Amino acid sequence: MVKFHDAALDRTFSALADPTRRALLARLENGEDMSVSDLARPLPMSLPAVMKHLDVLADAGLIERHKSGRTVSCRINAAPMEDAMKWLIHYQRFWEQSLERLAKFLERKKAEKGK
């Protein structure tokens, strides 16, 4: 059964709603650690602004941060996206079934007109 009110799912979708955060996740998709500085380098914003985006991703559980000396590194954690995918798949099935029913209905109506 798909959960409809799930705070973790809400945080995941909220974090993924922003294009900057999606870009940060895309840079981490190879599964390797990247320093915050490396993540921030190509973005047209300040390091504190990038850190705020990383805070949102970390709060949603989509990244993990590790500190080694003065360097903070991030790594993707795709586990929260699994629940989001389950939610989306539930609705994909719903719409596919609805469209199939509509197609059958239209076929019946077309056949009735032909009689």
pLDDT at 81: 92
Global pTM value: 0.78
Which structural domains are found in the chain, ordered by start? 7-114 (1.10.10.10)
115: Cα separation from own chain's centroid:
50
Calculate the alpha carbon distances from 67 to 6, 36, 60, 84 in Å: 30, 10, 19, 28
Output Rg (C-alpha) for the chain, integer angstroms. 21
pLDDT at 109: 87
pLDDT at 113: 86
Distance CA 45, CA 31 (A): 24
Chain segment 66-97, per-residue pLDDT in tens:
999 999 999 999 999 998 999 899 888 888 88
Task: Please list the pLDDT of the chain residue by residue as tens digits (115 residues).
Answer: 555 568 999 999 999 999 999 999 999 999 899 999 999 999 999 999 999 999 999 999 999 999 999 999 999 999 999 989 998 998 888 888 888 889 989 988 888 888 7
Question: 3-state SS of 65-104?
Answer: EEEECCEEEEEECCHHHHHHHHHHHHHHHHHHHHHHHHHH
pLDDT at 112: 86
